[in-house]
């Protein structure tokens, strides 16, 4: 059957959801954006418009393209509004319980041939697929943050994902002018399996007093040529997300090398979640970020 993806539903209008909506609408797909709170959808539309305007000012896209792309994004205040979609991507918070609830709720509204995907950065695709009525049409499509700037998308097949679904997902990623990297369905996939233990190790280096926040970040920026230091990156990702990925690795692979650093746990317990909370390894409440230890 000659199935085409034309309309894409996105569940979750946060940073990842609005980034996916942005790149997919610019690539010519029609987008239905859903969130539990309608004001979050409106905030996402404003963010997308602002980010596209920045692309226009840099000459990356023309203003007509921006206007056309914005016109392709419509709000879907209810899950029912995703009924006409060819592909629905879940981009909700990194919690298996939340994701499973979403899949159970949305499946009854979807066409039998519609594809369902998760943007999870660490959770088993096979397990998530089992919470749906279409495991063979379920796949992991993991975008990197910030979506408009990052070139990579990880594609993860669950044990039941069929070839047709995989090919359609691969084709979708290619149309977004992104590069797909195929990962087996193991905890945290490829990028986060390598990246998050590095961040966790940087937190241990801080915790054990080997170096200060500034010393650690400077060392990795200038010594390993990383665009941002690991602690600065952790703040950008969100320390709660970093912790949840480390917990998935620790639980899923049962290896003590993935034990989350107690200092990371303490920061999350304090609500110092990084940039979004105004404080993490850096304090963002002043003119410029200041290390918190």
C-beta separation of 188 from 121 below 8 A: yes
Residue 59 backbone class (left: φ over 0; alpha: ψ -120 to 50; beta: rest): left
CB-based burial, 134-173: b 16+ in 10 Å, e otherwise:
bbebbbbbbbbbebbeeeebbbbbbebbeeebeebbbebb
What is the sign, positive or negative, of the torsion defined by CA atoms of 92, 140, 9, 276? positive
**In Å, what is the CA distance from 221 to each residue of 111, 121, 232?**
48, 24, 10
Question: Looking at residue 192, what DSSP letter applies?
Answer: H
C-beta separation of 140 from 122 below 8 A: no
The one catalytic residue in 119, 192, 200, 244 is 192
Q: Is 250 a catalytic residue?
A: no
Q: Is 154 a catalytic residue?
A: yes
The one catalytic residue in 121, 122, 200, 244 is 121
Q: Is 142 a catalytic residue?
A: yes
The one catalytic residue in 22, 119, 142, 200 is 142
- What is residue 168's three-state secondary structure? helix
Q: Report the C-alpha gap between 282 and 173 in whole angstroms.
A: 35
Q: Report the C-alpha gap between 146 and 233 in whole angstroms.
A: 12
- Written as six digits, the tokens of 287 are 């003119």
Q: Is 18 a catalytic residue?
A: no
CA 242 to chain centre: 12
Of 115, 236, 124, the closest CA to residue 165 belongs to 115
* First and final C-alpha spacing in the chain: 59
The one catalytic residue in 18, 22, 154, 244 is 154
Residue 14 backbone class (left: φ over 0; alpha: ψ -120 to 50; beta: rest): beta
User: At a CB cut-off of 8 Å and minimum separation 6, what does 25 contact?
Assistant: 31, 48, 69, 70, 72, 73
Active site residues: 121, 142, 154, 192
């Amino acid at each position: 059957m000659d199935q085409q993806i034309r309309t894409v539903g996105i569940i979750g209008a946060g940073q990842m959801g609005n980034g996916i909506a942005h790149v997919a609408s610019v690539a010519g797909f029609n987008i239905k954006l859903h969130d539990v709170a309608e004001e979050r959808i409106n905030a996402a539309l404003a963010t997308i418009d602002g980010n596209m305007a920045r692309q226009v000012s840099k000459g990356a896209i023309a203003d007509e393209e921006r206007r056309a792309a914005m016109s392709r994004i419509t709000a879907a205040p209810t899950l029912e509004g995703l009924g006409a979609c060819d592909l629905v991507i879940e981009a909700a918070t990194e919690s298996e319980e939340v994701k499973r609830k979403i899949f159970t709720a949305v499946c009854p509204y979807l066409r039998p041939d519609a594809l369902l995907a998760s943007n999870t950065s660490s959770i088993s695709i096979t397990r998530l697929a089992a919470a749906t009525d279409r495991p063979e049409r379920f796949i992991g499509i993991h975008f990197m943050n910030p979506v408009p700037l990052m070139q990579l998308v990880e594609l993860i097949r669950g044990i039941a994902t069929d070839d047709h679904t995989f090919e359609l997902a691969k084709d979708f990623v290619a149309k977004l002018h992104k590069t797909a990297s195929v990962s087996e369905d193991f905890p945290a996939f490829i990028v986060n399996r390598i990246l998050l233990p590095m961040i966790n190790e940087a937190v241990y280096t801080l915790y054990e007093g080997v170096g200060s926040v500034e010393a650690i970040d400077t060392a990795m920026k200038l010594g390993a040529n990383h665009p941002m230091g690991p602690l600065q990156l952790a703040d950008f990702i969100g320390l709660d997300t970093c912790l949840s990925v480390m917990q998935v690795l620790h639980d899923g692979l049962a290896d003590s090398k993935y034990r989350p650093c107690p200092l990371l746990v303490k920061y999350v317990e304090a609500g110092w979640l990084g940039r979004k909370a105004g404080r993490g390894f850096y304090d963002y409440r002043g003119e410029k970020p200041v290390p918190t230890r």
